[in-house]
Chains A and B, each alone.
Chain A
Amino acid sequence: MLRIDIETCIGCGVCEEVCTFGAIEVVDSVAVVNEKCTLCGSCVDSCEAGALSIEAKEKELQTDIAEWSGIMVYAEFRHGKVAPVSYELLGIGRRLADQQKVPLTAVLLGSSMDGAARELVSYGADTVFQVDDSALEFFTDEIYGNILEDIVRVQKPEVVLAGATAIGRSFIPLVATALATGLTADCTQLAIREEDGVLLQTRPAFGGNIMATIECPFTRPQMATVRPRVMKALMPDSDRKGEIIDFKPDPARLQSRVKVLQSVLEEQDQVNITEGDIIVAGGRGLDNEKGFELIKQLAGTVGGAVGASRAAVDSEWIAYPHQVGQTGKTVNPKLYIACGISGAIQHVVGMQSSETIVAINKDPDAPIFDVATYGIVGDLYEVVPKLIDKIKEKRG
């Protein structure tokens, strides 16, 4: 409940202004809350008089919270391969485990996974629990969920991480619900608070316009899915030692009501902008489809892939697999060259972790310059051809 201390309230109306939901009204010089309140807390922070508070009932801690220890990562395996996000999770997982001085475990589920567990060790896992069973050939939420749930119950890790992939985002909510604990989707930053070991889970919300930090204070494990290509994998070290344990699932847990008839790999567009070191991206500033020929030329010259803003994709100048951003791909190349892209937040969230960002835009106030390492204010149709020539010239 939102509590309003009518003694303290000065009726200034700031809370009324600030409330996105129209839930507060000042009546007879005091704030009054109505049923539209969502307890978002914006008003509490805005009240200079300190008259507002959110009354959260003291929640009971799960009794055995101290017994939950260790970091666990779900390593996705599909169509004969470990998904790259699994290595990224081991990268961040290793950091959290070292900070907490606890082991890092990976859970690997699938069938015919020769050597995959060993790989996970070389990327940082201390222990790998694997289930290699024909019942796991296809992904099913129920069977994968049952087994992960059972391993978590036995191992009692304080943190469980999975990739925010189609698979992770589908079955991890099932596991969290079964374990009666909290889950934060699609995190882009993770940290553990020194004092109490609570996992601080940061993620974009409202289509990337807002960042929120979320914690799961009362229950364990603390669970999160993590956006692919945001965390960094460690360099694999084949000398690393680790233990590989074959987990024996209860056969009753290998039943799924949902049946997968077949799993079809679709022709991936030739472009894979998420690999590779350089991306040259074009936006609405190209003005027309032909503009991408210039972008491709520059990309060809520097040996990079072609990216695009949503505006360019929506204009059908280039196909969706090229789209970078909140609703496209997250990329982190060494070099990102943005041509005629304004730098809307939804674009920037998908490329801001690139090592070096070059922005070419004719508007000096374009927000893209705020994320740029180097900016050129100018007409891309003048700048880009010169850039191509110059690079060629330097190379001789």
Chain B
Amino acid sequence: MNIIVCVKQVPDAKDVRLDPKTNTMAREGVESIMNPFDRHAVEEAVRLKEQHGGTVTVISMGPPQAEAVLRDAVACGADEAVLVSDRAFAGADTWATTYTLGKAINKTGSYDLILCGKQAIDGDTAQVGPGLAKRLNIPYVSYVRKITGFENNVLTLHRLMDDGYDEIELPLPGLLTVVKEINVPRVPSLKGKMKAKSLSIKTLNAADIDANPDSIGLPGSTTQVVKVFAPEFKGERAMLEGTVDEQVEQLVNKLQPYL
């Protein structure tokens, strides 16, 4: 089974803050990491390879330093890595991203399965997986939490729903997005780390994938961010005064309508 895993380098979301005065992002101490959901996608791909043979190729669209997450994925068991990188890709929304990844995947060769994370923690959109499947015209299943079998080129899966789960058959080639429950990712092995260090990473730019300049990056995007701001709150901040008994008394009076 030849598998492609889409991985994205993201800033560690918990550290990202907007300075409410300047409305710019605080830069200090924000680390770049592999999108946590994608780590589970890589792990699942490596497990499938171990069971059924084949290769795992990781692919990322991003700036040159995104190479780091590709090497990280190789250290965790992926075989090949492709970096899709060009200044012209900057500012891509999910529409331009799926166009670019789709083109790049078509250049990369044949595949049986594509794995994505459920969502990337920077934008939290969860749109790239389904959008990419549509671009490639392959069936997909999102929120997969368990792969239960593989026979006659059909995967059986459990897909997480809001009220339970659905048991599903997906004929290959197809695409999955995975949630964290699907597995516990391994830590890189020594052998993997060595391989990651020495592996030469194939890089594709806009010309290499025959991208239409109008379809990539900011010009190719259908949506635009027009404003970013720190979340605002509307609390009245009425701090109650006095001894604890007095405060409790006041509170109970104020809450009378609800009690």
Contacts and interface: CB of A to CB of B under 8 A. Distances in A.
Interface string A172-189: 011011101111111000
A183 B91 contact: no
Contacts of A369: 235, 237, 239
Interface in A128-150: 138-139, 141-142
Given A56-B218, A139-B166, A348-B231, A378 B244 contact: yes
> DSSP majority for the B interface?
mixed
Interface stretch (A93-101, A112-120, A213-221, A232-240): A213-221
Interface string A12-50: 000001111110000000000001111111100110000
Interface string B212-231: 00100111011111111111
A190 interface: no
Contact of A170 (B64, B130, B170, B254): B130
A167 B164 CA distance: 12
A177 B24 contact: no
Interface in B5-51: 11, 13-14, 16-18, 22-27, 30
Given A20-B25, A177-B98, A142 B228 contact: no
A126 interface: no
B168 A210 contact: no
A264 B146 CA distance: 14
Contacts of B142: 141, 166, 169-170
B141 interface: yes
- Which of A177, A265, A349, A391 neighbours the largest number of chain B CB atoms within 10 Å of its CB? A177
Given A177-B98, A215-B224, A375-B237, A260 B168 contact: yes
B133 interface: yes
B193 interface: no
Given A185-B127, A264-B166, A373-B235, A37 B226 contact: no
A262 B165 CA distance: 9
B244 A261 contact: no
A391 B255 CA distance: 10
Given A39-B90, A212-B225, A371-B233, A265 B259 contact: no
A326 B94 CA distance: 21
A65 interface: no
Given A35-B64, A176-B95, A205-B122, 17 more contacts: A17-B27, A18-B22, A37-B63, A39-B90, A45-B22, A46-B24, A57-B214, A173-B127, A205-B123, A207-B121, A210-B231, A213-B226, A258-B139, A259-B168, A260-B167, A261-B168, A302-B259
